[in-house]
Amino acid sequence: MITMSTDDHLSLPSSLRLSRYLSLAFVLFVPLLLFGCPSGTSNKPVDERSASPSASNPSSKGASDFDGDRAFEQVRKQVEFGPRPAGSAELEKLRAYMIDQLKSYGLQVTTDEFRATTPIGQRKMVNVTAELPGESNDVIIISSHYDTKYFKDIKFVGANDGGASTGALLELARVRAANKTKPRLTYWFVFFDGEEAFCFDWDQCHNPNPADPKNPLPDHTYGSRRYVAQLIEKHELPRVRAMILFDMMGFKNLRLGRDDLSTRWLQDIVWQTAKQIGHGGQFIDAPEGVGDDDHAPFLRAGVDALDIIQLSTYGSNDSEYWHTKEDTLDKVSAKSLKIVGDTLLASLPKIEARLANGR
């Protein structure tokens, strides 16, 4: 900020006072030309706006090009579509928007549309994959589900579940695609449809299994189960060396425990990296019981996988926000999104190195 005391100002000749006014106007006006409108006031798509400096982009150890404000605006955009359960028109609109974003980053985007049998009938579902080619054909998957849970009686906008993870994944894809250095491994940024159950509880309902009638299929993880099945069918599963899942990781009171299903070496790298760059208070050494998620089909298929999720502590002292109408935009923080984005980006070279060494 440019300041001047009243006495100094009055002591200047009128010509110099005019000169200072013009200089001050120039200094204030030029940044506006350079940076444009503040976040949230532009009608341009998120990918066309310049990232503005903010508290969510601190210049500190471990800070990366991951823009927490930009990721947050991606969450806001999803919430504006409204509830987005699998098969809905709102999810269709979001999917078109996501694909446009990913293509604008220069990524190759493919979709896999399928019909899933659910407790409320057949539903169209679509998995979306954006590819960033690497020096190797071996693949690291970074993923999120982009549907929200189906409710009849409440307006569930899923800001944190799964708006935050989808917004963070879009921003991560943008940052990786903008890096001029080719990655050692190929990256697939995967957006799963149909993670959420259609019945109220995760295990309340099941679906018929024609291949094995005695073992009905679950009412959840439709997209990730389909994805693994397609990898097996196309003989591409051996290419996938690691899978990392974002889910419910944007809460303003960020506290990410260690999921009890995740592969330990992946977890150790990410949690140790978080401590090294100053985020040990958010990536904590405490158990996080998930039970199942989109990483589980990969684990069952033999792929090392990690779930970054805050489930048990998503709420306040007197209420839970998970799968309630309270899962709204005010629960999500640009700072939390940046913490996770910075941590993963700092972890990826270490993950690549370990995989390159054949371990």
What is the side-by-side order of every strand in the sheet holding 305-309?
Answer: 108-118, 121-132, 185-192, 136-145, 240-247, 305-309
Q: Is the pLDDT of residue 291 over 60?
A: yes
Angle at the Cα of 280 from the Cα atoms of 132 and 288, rounded to 5 degrees: 80
Half-sphere exposure at residue 122, Cβ-oriented, CA atoms within 13 angstroms: 4
Q: Mind listing the domains of the chain with CATH numbers?
A: 61-356 (3.40.630.10)
Hey, what's the torsion of the CAs at 199, 203, 204, 210, to 10 degrees?
90
Could you read off the pLDDT of 319-342 as tens digits, one per residue?
Answer: 899 999 999 999 999 999 999 999
The tokens of 69 are what? 């404000």
Q: Is the pLDDT of residue 16 over 50?
A: no
Nearest to 337 by CA among 250, 259, 255, 275: 250
Say how far apart CA 175 and CA 194 lie, in whole Å: 26
Q: Mean per-residue pLDDT for 221-249?
A: 98
3-state secondary structure of 115: strand
Say how far apart CA 272 and CA 143 lie, in whole Å: 21
Give the confidence band of 56 by pLDDT, cuts at 50, 70, 90.
very low
State the pLDDT at residue 94. Answer: 98
Q: Mean per-residue pLDDT for 153-165?
A: 97
State the pLDDT at residue 19. Answer: 41
- The enclosing H or E element of 185 equals strand 185-192
Nearest to 290 by CA among 333, 334, 322: 322
Angle at the Cα of 173 from the Cα atoms of 301 and 86, rounded to 5 degrees: 60
Q: How confident is the prediction for the chain on average, in pLDDT? A: 87
State the pLDDT at residue 60. Answer: 58
Could you read off the pLDDT of 95-104 as tens digits, one per residue?
Answer: 999 999 999 9
Question: Could you give the percent of the chain with pLDDT greater than 90?
Answer: 79
Q: Is the pLDDT of residue 220 over 70?
A: yes
Partners of 145 in beta bridges: 192
Give the confidence band of 359 by pLDDT, cuts at 50, 70, 90.
low
Cα distances (Å, whole numbers) of residue 208 to 59, 166, 233, 234: 53, 30, 21, 25
- Contacts of 308 by beta carbon, 8 Å cutoff, 6+ apart: 244, 245, 246, 247, 249, 256, 259, 270, 340, 344
Nearest to 290 by CA among 216, 187, 220: 220
pTM above 0.95, yes or no: no
State the pLDDT at residue 286. Answer: 96
Q: Are 132 and 102 in contact (CB under 8 A)?
A: no
Residue 327's CB: how many other CB atoms inside 10 A?
26
